Amino acid sequence: MAGIADSAEWDALSAHYESIAETDLRDLFAADPDRGSTFVAEAGDLYLDYSKHRLNRDTITLLAAVARRAGVESLRDAMFEGERINVTEDRSVLHVALRAPRGTELIVDGVDVVAEVHEVLDRMAAFANRVRHGEWTGHTGRTIEAIVNIGIGGSDLGPRMATTALAAFADRSMTYRFVSNVDGSDFLEATRDLDPATTLFIVASKTFTTLETMTNAHSARAWSLAGLGDESAVAKHFVAVSTNAEAVAAFGIDPANMFGFWDWVGGRYSFDSAIGLSLMLAIGPDHFDDMLAGFHLMDEHFRTAPVESNLPMLMGLIGVWYGNCFGAETLAVLPYSQYLAHLPAYLQQLDMESNGKSVTREGAPVGMSTGPIVWGQAGTNGQHAYYQLIHQGTKLIPTDFIGVARAAEPIGDHQDLLVANLLAQPEALAFGKTAAEVAAEGIAPEQAPHRVFAGNHPSSTILMPELTPSTLGQLIALYEHKVFTQGAIWNINSFDQWGVELGKQLAQRIVPELESAADPAHDSSTNALIRRYRELRAR
Ligand code: F6P
């Protein structure tokens, strides 16, 4: 299949790029005073302002034509219908089924997957309610006070991000911890102040073979047994979330305490499946349902809205515009909400593991730049760290600002100060400060070049009324489908992750070499590092 770059639609976009590339955001706003209220789109509770981008109406028309030519809509429909669009693993991609309302139907290979999803959700809810109401007790009869999720990647980042995001909705009488790193200090610090008699571990792993998770799970079992002294304690203090029932049973977890999901849920698309059990324990089943409804609302928007007003498609296309026409390499995601502190890390996996690909779905070189480097942290902290580079550095860094209007628990004037900063940064980035403006402030001429802000730095601003389970679901689905849109345009498979395998295999080979005294058999650098490690460890 010819790539999108070989199409007439791409040629038209490239020609348009040549004509608009030098146009400044100041010019665009001067030419169209209504721009700030017309280059906007809404879906559910999310308002997207994309006016501060280097584009005009023609750009959107041309980008939409590219999307149609690339078959974004047909691939989207294929996903929603359960077709096996994850071609390298021969799997359906059905995270949208995880939030399909009860009673709807989606038959895949003769099975109604929506009914299966709700069966697991019901089991999760029953379990969560028992724990939350003190009916599920530990081995010694005491109620559960701490939940520790053990998982990594998609089995960690989603529930970790969402449990922080929705802390205002959580049962504050319980403690929630997340252990992911194989570095033993992660486990030690997470459990240091916990009591085995009141701690429940959730071992979350799609495969139940991941080195980090299994190592931590075994340490957790040893920690529990050291405190409780009896193998039978495992049944009361460990539950599993996995697609691998055999491995769960082999670990010693009662299959009755396993919550399943399916191979058509990718790890990075899974926190609204049973992988979100820790989140459900924190916020309760009703709030979890509200979150699923938020996801579904955005799914429906993505499925039905025309490209030109489809939020995920617009964001995906704007990313393509910068990545493939302007040559931007990164995307900064800057949420102005401390509750969203883990969102950038979550989006790193979602975007970079999905679209960090260099061959097409057919295995040919993709021939164009693909997924961006995603980075960021909660505002306003970044302003006092790296924003300098965005404002006055030499790189083009498109930015997503995310803001929440109402604080969960307002105190003083914090929220207005936070939002003032959220609004000020995109304005400063877009419009900067000219030499004339600097001179008018009476700045000495030799200082002036340092005080000029070139401006013309593009950004989107996403605003929501408040951070709730529903708006979080909408936001995450927005990014999921943005990533989908871009993968479809580049014709890459956004749903596999073969690139993480080589490092895992090499680590397995190195483990015994660290223990042995024999000569390691790698390149000279790795061999020398292995020898140095042996030496340092022995000192
Ligand atoms: O790092 C690769 C990966 O497979 C991710 O895609 C996944 O989210 C993570 O490892 C954890 O995998 P599992 O849930 O099987 O332990």
Q: Is the dihedral of CA 138, 143, 146, 147 positive or negative?
A: positive
* Farthest-apart Cα atoms in the chain, separation: 78
Using 50, 70 and 90 to split pLDDT, how confident is the model at 1?
low
Conformation bin of residue 221: beta by default, left when phi > 0, alpha when psi is -120 to 50: alpha
More confident residue, 169 or 1: 169
Q: What is the dihedral of CA 421, 425, 426, 430, to 10 degrees?
A: 150
Please tell me the distance between residue 494's alpha carbon and the centre of ligand 1 in angstroms. Answer: 15
Q: Is the CB of 244 under 6 A from ligand 1?
A: no
The atom of ligand 1 lying closest to the CA of 275 is 14
> 271 CA to middle of ligand 1, Å?
12
205 lines ligand 1 (CB under 6 A): yes
Q: Is 333 exposed, middle or buried (0-12, 13-18, 19+ CB in 10 A)?
A: buried
Residue whose C-alpha is closest to residue 422's, from 452, 470, 387? 387
Q: Residue 255: which pLDDT band, with cuts at 50, 70 and 90?
A: confident
Q: How far is CA 293 from CA 98, 172, 273, 377, 505, in A?
A: 10, 24, 13, 27, 40
3-state helix/strand/coil string of 327-354: CCCEEEEEEECHHHCCHHHHHHHHHHHH
Average pLDDT over every residue of 141-153: 98
User: Mean pLDDT throughout 481-489?
Assistant: 98
> Who contacts 292 (Cβ-Cβ below 8 Å, separation ≥6)?
98, 99, 121, 272, 473
Q: What is the mean pLDDT of residues 152-164?
A: 98
| pLDDT (tens digit per residue) in 498-531 | 999 999 999 999 999 999 999 999 999 999 999 9
Active site (catalytic) residues = 353, 384, 504
Contact 385, 371 (CB under 8 A): no
Question: At 517, is the secondary structure helix, strand, or coil?
Answer: coil
Ligand 1 touching residue 150 (CB < 6 A): no
Q: What distance in Å separates the CA atoms of residue 170 and residue 273, rounded to the nearest whole number? A: 18
Q: How many residues does the chain have?
A: 539
Atom of ligand 1 nearest to the CA of 242: 14
**In whole numbers, what is the pLDDT of the chain averaged over residues?**
97
230 has pLDDT over 90? no
Cβ-contact 273, 265 below 8 angstroms: yes
How many CB atoms neighbour CB 419 within 10 A?
17
**0.85 surpassed by pTM:** yes
- Average pLDDT in the 321-340 region? 98
Task: Please give the average per-residue pLDDT across 360-382, as a whole number.
Answer: 97
Q: Is the CB of 267 under 6 A from ligand 1?
A: yes
pLDDT recorded at residue 50: 98
CA distance 155 to 174: 21
For tokens 């911890």, the residue is 177
Rounded to the nearest 10 degrees, how much is the dihedral formed by the CA atoms of 449, 453, 456, 460? 160
Q: pLDDT tens across 273-298, in order?
A: 999 999 999 999 999 999 999 999 99
- Identify the band that residue 438 occupies on the pLDDT scale cut at 50, 70 and 90: very high
Residue 2 pLDDT exceeds 80: no
Q: What is the reported pLDDT for 435?
A: 95
152 in ligand 1 pocket by Cβ < 6 Å? yes
Residue nearest to atom 16 of ligand 1 (CA): 205
Res. 7 pLDDT band, cuts 50 70 90: very high
pLDDT at 440 over 90: yes
Specify the residue with its C-alpha closest to ligand 1, atom 6: 267
Residue 94 above 90 pLDDT?
yes
Q: What's the rounded mean pLDDT across residues 29-34?
A: 96
pLDDT digits (tens, 9 = 90+) for 399-413: 999 999 999 999 999
- The residue whose CB lies within 8 Å of the most ligand 1 atoms, and thus the one to mutate among 93, 152, 501, is 152
242: Cβ below 6 Å to ligand 1? no
Helix (H, G, I), strand (E, B) or coil at 178: strand
